Structure 1
């Protein structure tokens, strides 16, 4: 029934009743009821926003009493302890910003809710920025449940919404005390037990950032956060299940890339402690330079760009000036060339499954060939162009930048391989 039909029915009822001498007192129109509901909703939202502002301020100012004051005293004891641990684990993390954004809400009708005067689950996003490392804040979803007891609102849970598909993002500070080692090129964050690898990484970090900058240029923050998780669960939380495997020693991740400003948010290098910790000094150096190249170039890269460009260029920077002979840098490729040179450029499909390592080695050698034939500045120019196009556009970009098409590139690379791996 429309609002106008409701009002018309009310007027008819009043007229009929007044003819019988009956007084109608205190009638509330639907519009007034709606206004009252809006007021309640606004008051609730303001109260929760104030709670989150206090929470953020207490964390930045290291006020543990204020941080825990807004936790529901009747909440699950484990949740309250995890929140206290979270606060303490963040003590050494260099935070420039920490804030919460509130918008929308979650339907709670199917959930078993805690006993309270009122329960609410707005859509909350954590916005935080690491000092030096982040140009723009990183944004992550927080599935918070709030309860009102009397006039006071509290944070009650960050897991209660999981049955309806809402999960709270977990950062390194959710998995244990954070130890931070700081250098000119950024910092290394680890947990108890990760000190040895963290020290090794810090010893390489400044020179790795300088090496990447020498190739890519200075138009990037030139500070990197390297995270060393303490468990497989933390690795999955930081990089996703697709990359959290024992065969991957490290991965560069980002929240998103702004296509207009070419700025990447939430960039981190995450190392697999088992795989990376077992590396000798030289492979660890190559790994860090490879992943930091992805960090520097992320803003200039789009999803769907050819993998041989992205990964081959990162490996080129990783191995640059390492004095590693090609047959040792690419033993699988050397064995392949003895049987015959590749008949095509590496495809994106080659970077999955058992052929992945060979695809990396092929792509590295392809970028090495381009650097030797074009010169390093034009290799960087070619990367910047190819990293922003799909596979179907590669041929046109190659012609524009190098004067040759894909077929000519393949022939030149094949000759290079025959000379490099005689």
Structure 2
């Protein structure tokens, strides 16, 4: 019995030693505490966003690296440049963080809304460099992602002019000119409403930078791509249907040389893109989106086809009648200016043909049907069959005859 007692004690001691060994082993293999870098950096960005919305310059500067003197000066200037912009919201959505020691690089989307105008936020992809000092993260640099455009307030102090249906934000422009642009926009919105019966915001934000180069900088593209282009609308094609905040961006140099009628056509054209945004998708060919915008812009103007399509008329009279409707490639900026003009004119006349032969209601129904298709392949064919009762081949033949009759 005594031997059995010792054996039990030995077994109990062995079990206890084994348990202790397991505790020690588990202690050595315990997982490291989770890295809180992402959460901490998001908190820094949240504080910065709250400072912008609250117009708190001191709080805005507190999240900046105290040793990055040049960055602090630039950021303070940008903060003050924003003073007249009526912000409804401002926030950052952190996408990724790469940390090396006390330094980190973060990829984030800046999402902001203009109060009273934006249904959804405008988005700017940003890259931020951060540094950790005494356990606290600070922003050392903030720049646009590669290929993304600069922000208007990074170009100078923003002057804001509100119209009845518009907000014009300008940098380096006379306030009187911004008011003229707002007046043109205020005429454009009712013109679009009368042609496009679908619900839309009925309000437009227009950006007017100081130069062509500044315009290109906002778009993240070479200036040569927009030389001679009076205005563009961001996000006008290939949309997801969520209607992100569109901006009409004016090229001040090209806009200035237009007459009153030309300015009205350009602004109405771009406003049409804003209005049709929710029904414009990757399935919509550019001949339709651009042609429809021109159709709205010229609607009721009394302009004849030869007056509004001089380049295409020259081609038709020279015996170069287009074989097909304009392709997306024909609308490329920075290429052949005559080819670009013919593409716009051809798209306009295609939409004008539909409005005259099938009716304006059928034209807008056709536009919606094309945009609702899941892919580009088959979008026009299906919509022509279902809405217009024709085929792309038949329509192209009728369009060519229409060009010959209108421009020959």
What TM-score do the two structures reach when normalised by structure 2? 0.84
The Cα of 1:202 is off from its aligned counterpart by 0.6
Superposition pairs of residues 185-264 of structure 1, within 5 angstroms: 185-241=165-221, 244-254=225-235, 259=240, 262-264=241-243
- Conserved? CA contact 1:143–1:168, under 8 Å: no
1:235-265 Cα deviation digits (max 9, x unpaired)? 2332232684212211111299764xx2221
Distance 2:180 2:377 in 1: 38
Superposition pairs of residues 123-162 of structure 1, within 5 angstroms: 123-158=107-142
Partner of 1:334: 313
**RMSD across aligned positions (CA):** 2.9
SS at match of 1:143: strand
Superposition pairs of residues 47-196 of structure 1, within 5 angstroms: 47-75=40-68, 77-106=69-98, 108=100, 118-158=102-142, 170-196=150-176
The Cα of 1:105 is off from its aligned counterpart by 0.8
- Conserved? CA contact 2:381–2:392, under 8 Å: yes
Pair 1:410 & 2:396 matched: yes
Counterpart among 267, 273, 278 of residue 252 in structure 2: 273
1:270-323 Cα deviation digits (max 9, x unpaired)? 111111122111111111111111111122122252221111111101111112
Segments of 5+ residues of structure 2 without an aligned counterpart are 1-13, 18-23
Distance 2:28 2:189 in 1: 64
1:123-143 Cα deviation digits (max 9, x unpaired)? 332121111221122232221
CA spacing shift, 1:155–1:313, aligned 2, 3 Å: same
Partner of 2:291: 312
SS at match of 1:267: coil
The range that moved more, 89-98 or 191-200, is 191-200
Partner of 2:10: none
Task: Report how many residues are paired.
Answer: 381
SS at match of 1:343: coil
The Cα of 1:45 is off from its aligned counterpart by 4.0
Distance 2:28 2:148 in 1: 38
Segments of 5+ residues of structure 1 without an aligned counterpart are 1-14, 19-25, 109-116
Partner of 2:30: 32
1:17-72 Cα deviation digits (max 9, x unpaired)? x9xxxxxxx9994543512xx2xx32x44443333222212211211122112221
- Conserved? CA contact 2:122–2:245, under 8 Å: yes
Distance 2:379 2:147 in 1: 39
Distance 1:190 1:258 in 2: 26
Distance 1:360 1:256 in 2: 15
Distance 1:78 1:69 in 2: 15
SS at match of 2:258: coil
The range that moved more, 396-405 or 272-281, is 396-405
Superposition misfits of 4+ residues, deviation over 6 angstroms: 165-168, 255-258
The Cα of 1:386 is off from its aligned counterpart by 2.3
1:387-415 Cα deviation digits (max 9, x unpaired)? 34525442332122111212322333334
CA spacing shift, 1:417–1:45, aligned 2, 3 Å: closer
Distance 1:85 1:30 in 2: 52
